[in-house]
């Protein structure tokens, strides 16, 4: 990383739950409609999934250089959620907020492009 490269200082974490039988369909939809646009704005994005018997949990972590940069993406409030058009169809419950954390330390290459 060069000294003029932007460094992630903020992590924005979104969580949502689907019924297990809709998880694959939601994952594909979320990636196309939600994650791809986010990739263009954030410094980095990770998507995670855990399948359980009663539900599948999805987590999206996006990385930002500042709260201000993140707020410009969300339209002001950095904890504001932009629900995708079909989220009510897929998600068991619509989340009402995201978690915003300051990155205190980071080590190694944990990302990697898998798509």
Residue 22 belongs to a domain: yes
* 71 domain residue, yes or no: yes
**Position 83 in a domain:** yes
pTM of the model: 0.86
H or E, element range at 68: helix 67-74
**8 A C-beta contact, residue 46 and residue 24:** no
Starting at the earlier edge strand, list the strands of the sheet with 56-64. Answer: 44-51, 56-64, 10-18, 99-102
pLDDT in tens, 50-103: 999 999 999 999 999 998 888 887 777 888 888 999 999 999 999 998 999 999
Q: How far apart are CA 107 and CA 50, in angstroms?
A: 24
How many domains does the chain contain in total?
Answer: 1
Q: Which domain holds residue 84?
A: 10-102
The DSSP H or E segment spanning 101 is strand 99-102
Domain with residue 67: its CATH number is 3.30.70.100
pLDDT higher than 60, residue 44: yes
């Amino acid at each position: 990383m060069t000294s003029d490269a932007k460094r992630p200082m903020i992590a924005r974490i979104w969580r949502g739950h689907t019924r297990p039988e809709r998880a694959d369909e939601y994952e594909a939809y979320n990636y196309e409609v939600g994650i791809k646009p986010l990739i263009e704005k954030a410094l980095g994005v990770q998507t995670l999934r855990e399948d359980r018997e009663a539900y599948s949990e999805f987590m999206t972590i996006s990385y930002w250089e500042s709260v201000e940069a993140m707020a410009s993406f969300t339209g002001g409030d950095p904890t504001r959620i932009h629900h995708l058009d079909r989220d009510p169809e897929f998600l068991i419950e619509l989340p009402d907020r995201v978690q915003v954390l300051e990155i205190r330390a980071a080590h190694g290459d944990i990302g990697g492009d898998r798509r």
